Amino acid sequence: MIFLRRLSPILSQMSKRKLSDYEGFRNVLNKSTNIVALTGAGISAESGIPTFRGAGGFWRTHRSADLATLHAFQVNPALVWEFYHYRRTVAFSAQPNDSHKALAAYEQICKEQGRKFSVITQNVDGLHRRAGSENVIELHGALHKVICTKCRTIDENFDNPICEALRDRGDPALQDINLPTIDKKDLPRCKKCKALVRPYIVWFGENLDPKVLEQSRELIETCDLCLVIGTSSVVYPAAMFAPLVADRGQPVAEFNLNSEPANDSFEFHFPGKCGSTLPKALGVTL
Which residue numbers are catalytic? Answer: 140
- Which residues lie across from 93 on neighbouring strands? none
- Please state the residue numbers annotated as binding site for NAD(+): 40-59, 122-125, 230-232, 256-258, 274
Sign of CA dihedral 15, 229, 27, 223: positive
